[in-house]
Amino acid sequence: MAMGCLCEELAGKDIDLSSVCIGDLWIFADLRPEEMEALARGALRKMYDRGRTIFMQGDAAKEMFLLKAGRVKLSKVMEDGTEITLDIRKAGDFLGENMLSEDIEYPVTAWCLEKTLLCGFDKNGFEQIVLEHPNIGLQVIRNLSNRINWLTTRMGSMSITNLEDRLYRVLSNVAREHGAKGSKGFVIQFPLTHEDLSFLVGAHRVSITRAMKSLRESGKIIQEGRTLTLPFENFQ
């Protein structure tokens, strides 16, 4: 089923859309055709102009969405008022699956760097779809569980390597924006909780803890209390 048609209709001809559709995401794997159709019908599609915010740091995290078009900057305001850029998300990226498993606040603000189209669900709308199609909820739970196991139990696999790469990229961005040169590398007073990092890299907090441990053991980061050093020889 071509679920991108509604997004194409909204976007028009002037915006390049990602080929990834909401139904292609791992979180909705193995659903029945009629359930995929229900998701496509129930999905919210929103267009944002350049400079608009999608959500603000501290807002309740009540949405999950696919970036169908555009680019989004994720930034965080620190206790001293400094704003740091943590990541740039592009068309085809997915945000917010933590909405389903945890009652959290957005740890960052999402700014549109260009005209952006989102396709996804708010919490209430998704729960209504699940009430009408209970197997969707059951399958999403299975997919979330499988994802957590996939990321946490196969430390030597490519999945963990990819998670470490994403996490290290975020830490490198923090070092560039917020760090200072020390004797061993770029030093930051570690400003992010594991909950923050789980949102930014799209992984469970347990997976973040394991990935941080692996980065320490490989020498890519040196952590002493809340001080984090990225050695010069590994810095990206």
pLDDT, tens digit, 9 for 90 and up, residues 125-153: 999 999 999 999 999 989 888 776 665 55
Note the CATH number of domain 5-152: 2.60.120.10
Task: Tell which wins on pLDDT, 129 or 200.
Answer: 129
Distance CA 54, CA 34 (A): 30
Domain ranges of the chain: 5-152, 158-234
Report for 27-36, 74-83, 92-101: range of highest mean pLDDT: 27-36
214: nearest Cα among 161, 177, 176: 161
Rounded to whole angstroms, the Cα distance separating 19 from 16 reads 9
In angstroms, the CA 69 to CA 147 distance is 25
Smallest CA-to-CA distance from 65 within 89, 37, 92, 94 is with 94
46 vs 85, which has greater pLDDT?
46
Helix (H) or strand (E) holding 195, with range, is helix 194-201
CA-to-CA distance for 227 and 231, rounded, in angstroms? 13
- The pTM assigned to this predicted structure is 0.70
Provide the pLDDT for residue 194: 80
> Is 107 in contact with 57 (CB distance < 8 Å)?
yes
- Which numeric CATH code is attached to 158-234? 1.10.10.10
Q: What is the separation, in whole angstroms, between the first and last Cα of the chain?
A: 41
Distance between alpha carbon 75 and the CA centroid of its chain, in Å?
13
